[in-house]
Amino acid sequence: MRETPDELDALQRLLDMSISSSGAHLTGIVTDPRRLSARQLVAALTGMKVLVVATTTAAGEPRTSCVDGHFLHGTWMFGTAAAAHKARHLRARPALSVTHADGERMALFTHGYGEYITAQDPRFQPFDEYFIAHYGSSPRDWGPDPVFVQVRPTWMVGYAMNAADFPTS
């Protein structure tokens, strides 16, 4: 868990606001016993998690792809190559949705904006260090022009079939 108390509080506020602004269909499924708290999410989402990332083309057509997602400081982060379609989509149109689903056990649904971070950006270094610690090598060694995308969420809902099964630390 890398989140500060302030980051955990902000995440919990976002989760509460998101579910309270959701429609009856979703709130009928993601009831209180199935809702994950900020503490439960950060405890469950350590390490790499497969994310489905949704972007849009210039024509407004949806596109999805999978990435190695990392939940850090209360939000998702992932790396890719600058030449990847998803990276080019996000540079032009930063709105995105990301979903992590672990079968029927749990899921986290997120809508927001991707903050595009190139290797020349001073914010790249902490992400690079994190990836080196996680994978044993730098994304700079994986190919030309690595980029990171940090999701700036505007809406996020965490779901579990039985949220009581998830620890808070």
Query: What averages of pLDDT result for each successive group of 10 residues across the chain (169 residues)?
Result: 90 98 96 96 96 96 96 93 93 96 95 92 88 91 88 98 91
Domain count, the chain: 1
- Complete DSSP assignment for 100-158: EEETTTEEEEEEEEEEEEETTSTTHHHHHHHHHHHHSS-GGGTSSSEEEEEEEEEEEEE
pLDDT for residue 133: 93
How far apart are alpha carbons 160 and 107 in whole angstroms? Answer: 6
Residue 103 is assigned to a structural domain of this protein: yes
How far apart are alpha carbons 144 and 67 in whole angstroms? Answer: 17
Residue 166 is assigned to a structural domain of this protein: no
Which CATH number characterizes residue 89's domain?
2.30.110.10
Q: Which domain holds residue 70?
A: 44-156
Residue 111 is assigned to a structural domain of this protein: yes
How far apart are alpha carbons 89 and 72 in whole angstroms? Answer: 23
Q: Give SS3 for 30.
A: coil
User: Taking a C-beta distance cutoff of 8 angstroms, is the pair 102, 48 a contact?
Assistant: no
